[in-house]
Structure 1
Amino acid sequence: MKNIYLAGPFFSDEQIARLERVEAALEKNPTVASFYSPFRHQLEDLEFGSKEWAEAVFDEDRRELHNSEVVVGIVDYQDEHVDPGTAWELGYAGMQEKPVIVFKEKDGGINIMISVPGHAFVKDATDLAEYDFDALPKGDWDGPVF
């Protein structure tokens, strides 16, 4: 069983609904020991947007990324632009040589900096609930890249 870091944007109702579908899938997956979702750790005791809050969020998320074994990254493009925080988290995971399971349910392409290092690609939360995080089967991106 693996410890997962869940990277993904949560700035709109659509993004939050997608994130919640992924969280529910991870909760059902028997190969997931636990997962950390930054959405659930907002550090509400600190003033949102303050320097203290920003540093605390960054430090906590980086520590959780470092302690995870696998990263699930929700790739949610607006045209050809991905959330920069999610992109940073995926890059940090890649630098640690952690497998990144890319979740992308919207149609369209993926930037090569995500499509090439991605370990596997999942388009439906149901499939994510059944993905074997112990065996970590590999899969290539089969859509367009830019």
Structure 2
Amino acid sequence: MAQIYLAGPFFSDEQIARLERVEAALTQNPTVEDFYSPFRHPLEDLEFGSKEWASAIFAEDRHELHTAKAVVGIVDYVEDHVDPGTAWELGYAGMQEKPVIVFKEKDGGINLMISVPGHAFIRQAEDLATYDFNQLPKSEWDGPVF
């Protein structure tokens, strides 16, 4: 069973609803031991936006990226712009040679810096409930690239 890091934006109601669909699917997946969702770890005991808060969030998220077997990255574009925090997490996972499972519900393309190294691409949350995180089957992005 796998430990998963869930990277994705959570700045709007739409993004939070998408994130919650993905979390629900990962919870149902029998090959997922556990997952870490930064959304669920806001470190509320520290002042939001402070240097101490930012340093603690960064350290915790980086630690969780290190311990994960794979990363699920929600590529939720607003126009052609991905959330920079999510992009950093996906790049960091790639530097560790961890498989990145890219989740994209919305129509449109993916930046080549995500489409090329992505290990697998999933378009519906319910498909994450049955994806085999032990075997990690590969798939290629079949949509537009920019």
Aligned pair count reads 146
Per the alignment, residue 22 of structure 1 pairs with 22
- Local SS of the residue matching 1:130: coil
- How far off its partner does 1:102 sit? 0.2
TM-align CA RMSD: 0.3
| Unpaired stretches in structure 1, ≥5 consecutive residues | none
Letter in 2 for 1:40: R
1:137 aligns with 2:134: no
Per the alignment, residue 6 of structure 1 pairs with 6
Return the alpha-carbon distance in structure 1 between the equivalents of residues 70 and 140 of structure 2.
Answer: 17
Return the alpha-carbon distance in structure 1 between the equivalents of residues 111 and 145 of structure 2.
Answer: 5
Return the alpha-carbon distance in structure 2 between the equivalents of residues 44 and 134 of structure 1.
Answer: 34
Percent sequence identity over aligned pairs: 81
Runs of at least 4 residues of structure 1 off by over 2 A?
A: none
- Local SS of the residue matching 1:6: strand
- Local SS of the residue matching 2:80: coil
Return the alpha-carbon distance in structure 2 between the equivalents of residues 41 and 124 of structure 1.
Answer: 25
Per the alignment, residue 116 of structure 2 pairs with 116
Letter in 2 for 1:126: E
Letter in 1 for 2:29: N
- How far off its partner does 1:81 sit? 0.4
- How far off its partner does 1:126 sit? 0.7
Return the alpha-carbon distance in structure 2 between the equivalents of residues 101 and 62 of structure 1.
Answer: 18
| Unpaired stretches in structure 2, ≥5 consecutive residues | none
Return the alpha-carbon distance in structure 2 between the equivalents of residues 91 and 84 of structure 1.
Answer: 10
- Local SS of the residue matching 2:23: helix
TM-score (norm 2): 1.00
Return the alpha-carbon distance in structure 2 between the equivalents of residues 137 and 62 of structure 1.
Answer: 25
Letter in 2 for 1:84: P
Return the alpha-carbon distance in structure 1 between the equivalents of residues 134 and 66 of structure 2.
Answer: 18
- How far off its partner does 1:10 sit? 0.2
- How far off its partner does 1:74 sit? 0.2
Return the alpha-carbon distance in structure 1 between the equivalents of residues 20 and 103 of structure 2.
Answer: 13
TM-score (norm 1): 1.00
Return the alpha-carbon distance in structure 2 between the equivalents of residues 46 and 135 of structure 1.
Answer: 39
